[in-house]
């Protein structure tokens, strides 16, 4: 029996990330780091691990060049990449349709670039290749179903898929990971734009059901996050740090207090009188000194200088200088920012875009 052609991949890397401004004023949200890696890299790794190595990245809007600069042709990630431009955000179904020639008649995997999943999807990919269904969806129970596309299930079959329902028929959200075959393109050809003027993937999937096609599903109970808000990103950062393993590649002074999972990357220097409460990740060539207390749930990027401050539940990106005499909590500080203060102050929470300078 002839083996099916290799499954291809589509990674969606567009969108405006409006709920993450000002972080997204200078680049796409999918490049925002979680545990010092762009969030879309988790999607790429997930696809690669499932055997998908030919991937089209759909880019559009601000920062498309940054995406190309970071991923290049994919060779340093062990994959082959092409880029397809989407001139404006017209919906997931529209983005998938742009990759029609790339996909041809093969099975393919669509992954939204802002989705973080901790479970391997390899088994789902293998099952889809063997199955006769036209789509397989990964579903996940959520607390706020009216914010997602929701699947209604009866007698272990998906009977309806509805986008952001006011009265949700279930709490099973359709995650941004779809296994599809070329039948979906026939559905997309018949779609009409939704109230937000987009071609909705949920409508295309529902049309599959209405025309008698079969959609399989798996309910994932491991961690899955659609990282649309700062809180989501900080939460995903915590989850990934908690599942990491301690390592010390930099230097650490004898008097440093250290507990829990701590990663200190190459060239980093942790000086006397510093406390690290894991999970904590300190990036390449970063210096932490002068009584700073870092953690829990903190990632600090590369080439930073951190002093005096107490930081928890936060993400500090590359090339930042922070010498605040305060507690910095639930914050995301973008690259090349400087924060300083002469006197102590109350707890602070910041969401700062690239290159911000604040002196209190």
pLDDT score of 151: 95
> What pTM, to 2 d.p., does this model score?
0.93
CA distance 204 to 192: 10
Residues 278 and 159 grouped into a single domain: no
pLDDT score of 1: 36
CA-derived radius of gyration, the chain:
22
CA distance 350 to 340: 13
pLDDT tens by residue, the chain, 360 residues: 334 557 999 999 987 777 888 888 888 889 999 999 999 999 999 999 999 999 999 998 778 999 999 999 999 999 999 999 998 889 999 999 999 999 999 999 999 999 999 889 999 999 999 999 999 999 999 999 999 999 999 999 999 999 889 999 999 999 999 999 999 999 999 999 998 899 999 999 999 999 999 899 999 988 888 888 899 999 999 999 999 999 999 999 999 999 999 999 999 999 999 999 999 999 999 999 999 999 999 999 999 999 999 999 999 999 999 999 999 999 999 999 999 998 898 999 999 999 999 998
Q: Any idea how long the chain is? A: 360
Q: Which of 228, 262, 280 is the last residue of a domain?
A: 228
Q: Which pair of tokens denotes residue 257?
A: 């207090």
Residues 29 and 119 grouped into a single domain: yes
In this structure, are residues 83 and 140 in contact, taking their beta carbons and an 8 Å threshold? no
CATH number, domain of 261, equals: 2.160.10.10
Q: Which pair of tokens denotes residue 326?
A: 């305060």
Is 134 part of any domain?
A: yes
Name residues whose C-beta falls within 8 Å of residue 151's C-beta, 6 or more positions apart in sequence. Answer: 137, 139, 158, 160, 161, 170, 172, 173, 174, 217
pLDDT score of 187: 97
In this structure, are residues 124 and 140 in contact, taking their beta carbons and an 8 Å threshold? no
Range of the domain at 260: 244-359
Residues 132 and 279 grouped into a single domain: no
Residues 220 and 79 grouped into a single domain: yes
Q: Which of 203, 228, 253 is the last residue of a domain?
A: 228
Residues 218 and 253 grouped into a single domain: no
Across 123-143, b (16+ Cβ under 10 Å) vs e yields: ebbeebeeeebbbbbbbbebe
In this structure, are residues 298 and 288 in contact, taking their beta carbons and an 8 Å threshold? no
Give the total number of structural domains in the chain: 2
Residues 219 and 249 grouped into a single domain: no
Is 190 part of any domain?
A: yes
In this structure, are residues 294 and 282 in contact, taking their beta carbons and an 8 Å threshold? yes
Is 237 part of any domain?
A: no
Is 189 part of any domain?
A: yes
Residues 52 and 181 grouped into a single domain: yes
Q: Which of 160, 194, 228 is the last residue of a domain?
A: 228
Which 3-state string (H, E, C) describes 135-197?
A: EEEEEEECCCHHHCEEEEEECCEEEEEEECCCCCCCCEEEEEEEEECCHHHHHHHCCCCCCCC
């Amino acid at each position: 029996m002839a083996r099916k052609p290799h499954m291809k991949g589509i990674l969606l890397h567009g969108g405006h990330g409006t709920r993450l401004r000002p972080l997204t004023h200078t680049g796409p949200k999918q490049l925002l780091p979680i545990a010092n890696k762009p969030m879309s890299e988790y999607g790429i790794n997930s696809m690669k691990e499932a055997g998908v190595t030919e991937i089209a990245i759909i880019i559009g809007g601000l920062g498309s060049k940054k995406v190309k600069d970071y991923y290049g042709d994919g060779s340093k990630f062990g994959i082959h990449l092409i880029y397809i431009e989407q001139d404006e955000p017209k919906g997931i179904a529209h983005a998938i349709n742009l990759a029609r020639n790339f996909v041809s008649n093969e099975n393919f995997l669509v992954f939204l670039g802002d989705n973080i999943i901790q479970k391997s999807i390899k088994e789902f990919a293998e099952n889809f290749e063997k199955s006769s269904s036209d789509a397989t969806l990964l579903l996940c129970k959520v607390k706020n179903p009216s914010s997602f596309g929701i699947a209604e299930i009866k007698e272990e079959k998906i009977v309806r898929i509805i986008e952001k329902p006011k009265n949700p028929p279930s709490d099973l959200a359709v995650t941004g990971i779809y296994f599809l075959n070329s039948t979906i393109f026939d559905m997309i050809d018949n779609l009409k734009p939704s109230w937000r003027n987009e071609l909705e993937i949920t409508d295309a999937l529902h049309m599959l059901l209405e025309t008698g096609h079969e959609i399989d599903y798996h309910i994932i109970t491991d961690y899955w996050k659609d990282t649309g808000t700062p809180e989501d990103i900080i939460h995903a950062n915590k989850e990934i740090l908690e599942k990491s393993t301690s390592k010390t590649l930099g230097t650490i002074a004898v008097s440093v207090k250290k507990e829990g999972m701590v990663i200190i990357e190459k060239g980093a220097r942790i000086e006397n009188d510093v406390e690290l409460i894991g999970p904590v990740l300190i990036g390449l060539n970063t210096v932490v000194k002068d009584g700073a207390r870092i953690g829990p749930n903190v990632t600090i990027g590369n080439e930073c200088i951190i002093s005096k401050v107490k930081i928890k539940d936060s993400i500090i990106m590359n090339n930042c200088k922070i010498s605040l005499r305060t507690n910095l909590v639930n914050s995301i500080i973008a690259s090349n920012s400087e924060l300083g203060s002469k006197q102590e102050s109350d707890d602070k929470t910041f969401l700062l875009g690239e290159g911000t300078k604040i002196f209190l």
